[in-house]
Amino acid sequence: VIGVVIGKTDVRSFPDRKNIGTERFTFCFTIRDSPAHFINAQSWGREEYIRSLSDSFRVGDCVTIENPLIQSKEAEREEKFNPVTPSCYKLLLSENHSVVRTSSCYDTATSLLSLLHLPVKDPQDYYSLGDIVANGQSLHGRVLNVLAAVMSVRE
């Protein structure tokens, strides 16, 4: 699979249920290879492997994923922590079988980079900031999708 990384989580650790007293590490990222298709990839493993893999690319990089395990996703549980994707599958990366490399092919990278700025939600499924300000009381307690541009960043 070749795609552009459009999102990435931080490395996290969890107690290993099989080996009491040790931890397993994980991180996820989302890749896109066309305007309509993007998928989440998740990797679990030893701290050294996960940190090294996470540090090897960033959002905006084009990557090639070799030998991922394809699994059905548990939408309700997984989409609490990862972007909602149009696929009913996810890619699972393992230290022993999978490889993730940044793509050095200029033609591939150029065509994929245009996908980086496309929204991942339906354009009709957004609220503007003006709508939220005007209708804030009636929207109280609802989960909304907002499409906005950052004008400045300060302390």
pLDDT of residue 47: 93
pLDDT of residue 67: 95
pLDDT of residue 93: 95
pLDDT of residue 137: 83
pLDDT of residue 106: 55
β-bridge partners, 41: 29, 91
DSSP string across 17-77: SSSTT-EEEEEEEEEESSSS-EEEEEEEE-HHHHHHHHHT--TT-EEEEESPEEEE--HHH
Q: Across all residues in the chain, what is the average pLDDT? A: 85
Question: Buried (b) or exposed (e) across 28-39, using 16+ Cβ within 10 A?
Answer: bbbbbbeeeebb
Q: Exposed, middle or buried by CB within 10 Å (0-12, 13-18, 19+), for 50?
A: buried
pLDDT of residue 115: 80
pLDDT of residue 52: 95
Domains, the chain, ordered by start: 2-114 (2.40.50.140)
Q: How far is CA 98 from the centre of its chain?
A: 18
User: What are the pLDDT tens digits along the chain (155 aa)?
Assistant: 889 999 999 999 988 888 888 889 999 999 998 888 899 999 999 999 999 999 999 998 899 999 999 999 886 666 666 778 888 899 999 999 999 998 765 556 667 777 877 777 777 778 888 888 888 888 888 878 887 778 899 99
DSSP string across 20-35: TT-EEEEEEEEEESSS
pLDDT of residue 64: 92
pLDDT of residue 109: 60
Asked if 63 and 102 touch (Cβ cutoff 8 Å), the reply is yes
3-state secondary structure of 90: strand
